[in-house]
A and B are shown apart, each in its own frame.
Chain A
Amino acid sequence: MVALVYLIPAALLLGGFGLVCFLWALRTGQFEDLDGAAYRALHDAHDDRFKDDGKG
């Protein structure tokens, strides 16, 4: 039962950390456009097909 004294605070701390991360993500607007976020994840950064050739 002594274990509870540090196990419960540990659980709360970890959970609290998760909560803080969620609130931060919310504040920086990461939940505004969930569809766009899903699409951006599909983007292949090495894809050169859409390179813009020619300036101006």
Chain B
Amino acid sequence: MALQAALDAPPIDAGCCSIGGLAAPASRAAVTGADPHAYVAVGEDGIARLDAVVETLDCPSCVPSIEGVLGRLDGVLAARVNAGQRRIHLEWDPADVDLDRILAALDGLGHRIAAYDAARLGGREIDEVGRALLRALAVAGFAFANVMLVSVAVWAGLAQDMGPGTRAFLHWVSALVALPAIVYAGRPFFRSALAALRAGTSNMDVPIAIGVSLATAMSLLETTRNGPHVYFDAALGLLFFLLIGRFLDRSLRRRAFAAAQNLLALRAVSAVVIGHDRRTEVRAIEAVRPGDVVAVAAGETVPVDGRVTAGRSDIDAALVTGESLPQAVAPGAVVHAGTVNLTAPIEVETAAAGSGTLLAEIAAMMDRAGQAKARYVRLADRISRIYAPVIHALAFAAFVGWMALGGADWRQALMIAVAVLIVTCPCALGLAVPAVQVGAVGRLLKRGAYVKSGDALERLARADTVVFDKTGTLTLGRPRLEGIDGESVGGDPGELIALAASLARRSTHPLARALVAAAGDGPAADGVREEPGCGLEAEISGVRVRLGRRDWVGAAATAAPHAGPEIWLRRGEDPAVRLRFADAPRPDAAEVVAGLKARGLRVLLLSGDRRAVVDELADSLGIAERRADCLPGDKIAVLNRLAAEGRRVAMVGDGLNDAPALAAAFVSLSPATAADVSQTAADVVFRGDALAPLLEAVDVARKADALVRQNVCLALAYNVVAVPLAMAGLVTPLIAAVVMSASSLVVTGNALRVQRRG
């Protein structure tokens, strides 16, 4: 989470283009998330392999530079970056080079990696379904182009006295190319349609399968009878455009899925397990068993639920409860996974798994909440439910109509019915939605917002209420020095802060770090002793200086209470002064809240933190409705009440205590610094310190929604024109092909508008 990142981030983030940059010797600096050593797999061939996420790929030369530098290291056998998924696959010979050397090289380029368990997160396996779609697409495209080649000749010939013999020859050539192609490229649709029919239902693929099969069969029949019209090119064109739509849809899902998996890797946890012989071993969290004793160093995230067995320290539970003040712990205290150990190393005995643990409770709440979300039906599915029966009815009506009223023989009537089926081509519909959504998701990805699915976009566009969590969501989750109160004999504020900072530079406590950040550069005092749970003490110029808790420092209890964290400084016997901190709101939080309200959204703030802190923040950001001291159950209760009023709520949260609410909301968003579980529950994850990606996501979602509706209207409008023509028997293969292609191109062109601003 944010604290962890602040504590572990390397001093300079210059990007891959830092030449001869600060190559920190400690490999720890090149890592976020779990210790990569826990995920190295050594195969039977003696080759070590590792998969990791590289989130810092920000410029085009990152890929060749990483691969170039790592490739030149002796012993590195493979260093392959997948820029689309933002992952790297490493293979090396442990005899020639070790992981630390590789990490040092990466750090020299300014990159950080987060290792993961390839078996758990997948990603390197071949996307079989996607490849099958591409193969079908390639075959359909090849056949479509070549058959069209021949068809144009036939159409031109029909206008210019082409002899029936030549025409028959050309039709046979078309048939020869088209038949195997249709059988191969149509498989995804035939399979899906058969499955639906066997289950007794109908889906979008049933009319497509029927249309294509009938068109092919009739065209073959016409070819043998030397008839004038065949529809091979139309059938192939239908398959071609639909496969494009299907492939786009799938690649969108894959990309979103990979992004979501990457986020899990970024928050992956490893634990240092202490064995009976006091030897330590780094293990992935999945390998830790109840009863194992885990060592948690100062500044690290506690990886397990458990009881402290040794050590005294302070724990920051903001991620779990939203509480902004750290709590002291000693042997016997209960700690939760996801909290941060601040002051001193502790040892935690892992709790037995059971329904009583906090994580299990939260998981159970999430399951119950998630049921409701599954009922949302995508727009595309809603359309296809009406679509299939309607075209079947129209085609049947055309067939019967022509047979009974038009006096045509069954072959002609069937041809006309087939023309109706083909021309009500769902290719525009098949493309309309994915084309827009792929563009929208891609645009948001560049702005730092990962959207997990197309229907998340639809839901975000429809949201009319936004509920915010406080700590880590509206605020950065990092404290900031606000001010210094109290007078000290002969000292001005700047000098006092410098004095306090000289002690604070020796500590990793977040308040100490915030103080150092505010004070700037300076010396660190010698002989500083840290007392866990109390503060820092040192002798400066013969005078004892203490920095820490009020009662330990020895301050009088007269100061007005302050809502946020505070520490006290006392030099010798002088009166103590107070240093006030606050969890700073995100830089653009107020503007984003105003922007959301300007867009007609109602904004609420729910937090697990105390009343005073919540009120202060809500007032400064302009949020009128707020509630403090919320338990996870309280947040869900509020969401349910809003849902009962008919409101569609977008929940924005980050902590473990928000995960059930994120699962229960209509649409949910969370920052990339959020807990594992929350990110998995959220529909959209946004990176960086600013809240602006949230606003942008809402805008792009609304624009995408508008474009999708336009596209659907265009597709339907085209149908309204084409179907009567088809039913009247006026649609020749030429017209069918032209009209299908034109509608698909118009829909795709319109979808590109999602990329433009405004």
Q: Are A8 and B61 in contact (CB-based, < 8 A)?
A: no
In the bound complex, do residue B61 and residue A39 qualify as a contact, i.e. CB atoms below 8 Å apart? yes
Query: Contacts A12-B177, A19-B138 hold; do A33 and B82 have CB atoms under 8 A apart?
Result: yes
Which residues from chain A contact B757 at a C-beta distance below 8 Å?
none
Are A39 and B60 in touch, CB under 8 angstroms? yes
Using A12-B146, A15-B146, A35-B84 as known contacts, say yes or no to A49 and B19 having CB atoms under 8 A apart: yes
Does A42 lie within 8 Å of B64, measured CB to CB?
A: yes
CB-defined contacts of B101 to chain A, threshold 8 Å: 56
Given known A33-B82, A33-B85, A52-B105, contact A18–B63 (CB-CB < 8 A)? no
Interface string of A22-56 (1 = CB under 8 A from B): 11001001011111101110110000011110011
Q: Which of B19, B73, B173 contacts A52 (CB 8 A)?
A: B73
Q: Which residues of A contact B169 (CB under 8 A)?
A: 4
**Residue in B65, B81, B84, B177 whose beta carbon sits within 8 Å of that of A50 in the complex:** B65
- How near does chain A come to B89, taking the closest CB pair, in angstroms? 11
Interface residues in A, total, Cβ within 8 A: 30
Tell whether, in the assembled complex, residue A42 and residue B61 are in contact, meaning their CB atoms are under 8 Å apart: yes
Knowing A11-B146, A33-B84, A49-B19, say if A43 contacts B64 (CB, 8 Å): yes
CB 8 Å contact bits of B55-76 with A (1 = contact, 0 = none): 0000011111101110011100
Contact A55 to B74, CB < 8 A, known contacts A4-B169, A36-B63: yes
Contact with A along B547-578 (1 / 0, CB 8 A): 00000000000000000000000000000000
State the Cβ distance, A26 to closest chain B Cβ, in Å. Answer: 6
Smallest Cβ distance from B607 to chain A, in angstroms?
Answer: 39
Per DSSP, chain A at the interface is helix
Categorize the interface residue count of chain B. 35 or more
Q: Are A8 and B142 in contact (CB under 8 A)?
A: no
Question: Which residues of chain B are near A49, meaning CB under 8 Å?
Answer: 19
CB distance from A45 to the nearest CB of B (A): 9
On chain B, the residues within 8 Å of A19 by CB distance are: 138-139, 142
B612 located at the interface, meaning its Cβ lies under 8 Å from any Cβ of chain A in the complex? no
CB distance from B172 to the nearest CB of A (A): 11
Contacts A42-B60, A52-B105 given; does A33 touch B142 at CB 8 Å = no
Q: How far is the CB of A11 from chain B (nearest CB, A)?
A: 7
In the assembled complex, how far is the CB of residue B73 from the closest CB belonging to chain A, in whole angstroms? 6
B146 surroundings in chain A (CB, below 8 A): 11-12, 15
Q: What's the nearest-Cβ distance from chain A to residue B341, in Å?
A: 35
Q: Verify if B149 is at the interface (C-beta below 8 Å from A).
A: yes
Q: Does B135 contact A (CB under 8 A)?
A: yes
A52–B84 Cα gap in the complex (Å)? 26
7 A-B contacts, Cβ less than 8 Å apart? Answer: A15-B145, A15-B146, A31-B134, A40-B63, A42-B60, A50-B69, A52-B69
Q: What 6 pairs between A and B have smallest CB-CB spacing?
A: A43-B64, A36-B83, A35-B83, A39-B63, A19-B142, A33-B82
Besides the known contacts A38-B83, A43-B68, 17 further A-B residue pairs in the complex with CB atoms under 8 A apart:
A8-B150, A11-B149, A19-B142, A22-B138, A26-B134, A33-B85, A35-B83, A36-B63, A36-B81, A36-B84, A38-B60, A40-B67, A42-B60, A49-B19, A50-B65, A50-B68, A50-B109
